[in-house]
Amino acid sequence: MQRRNSNFFYVIDMDEEGRLRNVFWADARSRAAYESFGDVLFFDTTYLTDKYDLPLTPFVGVNHHGQSILFGCGLLSIEDVGAYVWLFRSWLECMHGRPPNAIITDQCKTIQGAVAEVFPSSHHWLRLWHIMKKIPEKLGGLAQYKAIEKILNGAVYESSKPRKFEERWSKMIENFDFEKNEWLSFLFADCHRWVPIYVKKVFWAGLSATQRNESVDAFFDDYVSSKTSLKQFVEQYDNALKSKVEKENKADYFSSNSTYKSVTDCFFEKQFHESYTNDIFRLFQDELRGLLYCNCELDKVDGLISSFNVTDIQRGKEGKSKRRVVYNVSHNEAEFDVQCSCYLFEFKGILC
């Protein structure tokens, strides 16, 4: 591949006896994509599980259409801190020493140690979906499991402030005598890396760790099965990348040559239509429609800063009211700055 393109990058790691141990590579397009969309990096270890025969570790990001893009691939024969450090350093060298602002991984102490060593300045988020799916395995055998699950979900997903999460968590630990539960203690020690309220102030490019992100997790799903061999993967690698490039080109074309009907007569909607791609603009329009269910009240004025309470009546099925959530919004007139306690703009780049 390097003969065809001088920007193709690869590194090979050999053991003491000269045998191939680990490999990293990234083609020219992956390196160029990182230049434009390298704010957030998702390190995918799905294929390292017992379900697959392929020790593949893709580095994945998200483009301006919300589509997954590849930033490189690794093949690991072992899974220790040294191997991950080698892989991350190889990737960093490939990307000219520019670390991502944020990185998402599954919960794994080995990976966490390597991330801390190689990417000390990057925000590190553990996939919440990966953590929460373990709850039935860890706590499902308890007699009060349903009650525990409800309280735990409320603490994780509905806490509006870190203090609220900590209060709910402490109450759960006390009520169900979990003081000696090592798994829950381990989770709480890492809560700033996986509980949404702790990470919402950081831009994550729409890579929500609260659920399985199909667009990212499925990057090679049409080309890799549980029985795919290394030889078969090499043969399918180019096909996977060509398919992704074709989808991105189509999305670029439609964003440049088609428009969506406005849902309001507001001038700012037209402005954002010009700034966002069609796929992202649709998400912004969802927020606009949500204004119908919001009620805004002035709370206080402190000089040039005005504070508002915005009540969002979130709807369930058949339009029935699900729950009322109050967000705090501040407007700094001097700095032309607006901040909402939902942090959607900081988190996804989409105005709420």
Specify the range with the lowest mean pLDDT, choosing from 209-218, 243-252, 262-271. Answer: 209-218
Give the model's confidence band at 206: pLDDT under 50 very low, under 70 low, under 90 confident, else very high: confident
Assign 144 to helix, strand or coil. Answer: coil
Tokens standing for 175?
A: 């009520």
The pLDDT of residue 324 is 83
**8 Å CB contact between 58 and 44:** yes
Residue 301, CA distances (Å) to 9, 81, 305, 329 in order? 56, 52, 6, 12
Percentage, residues of the chain above pLDDT 90: 42
Question: Is residue 252 over pLDDT 80?
Answer: yes
Nearest to 199 by CA among 324, 307, 264, 102: 102
> pLDDT (tens digit, 9 = 90+) per residue, 139-192?
988 889 999 999 999 999 888 889 999 999 999 999 999 999 999 999 999 999
Residue with more model confidence, 268 or 166: 166
214 confidence band (pLDDT: 50, 70, 90) = very low
pTM: 0.85
Ramachandran class of 52: left when φ > 0, alpha when ψ lies in -120 to 50, beta otherwise: beta
Per-residue confidence (pLDDT) for residue 117, from 0 to 100: 97
The mean of the pLDDT values for the chain is: 86
- Greatest extent of the chain over all pairs of C-alpha atoms, in Å: 71
Q: Which residue in the block uniquely carries the two structure tokens 């990976």?
A: 111
Q: Of 300, 302, 257, 296, which Cα lies nearest the Cα of 277?
A: 257
Strands 102-105 and 123-126: parallel
Any idea which of 48-52, 203-207, 340-344 has the lowest mean pLDDT?
48-52
d(CA 9, CA 22) in angstroms, rounded, equals 14
Looking at residue 238, its pLDDT comes to 83
| Dihedral sign, Cα of residue 235, residue 217, residue 77, residue 120 | positive
CA distance 4 to 68: 25
pLDDT at 200: 86
pLDDT at 2: 52
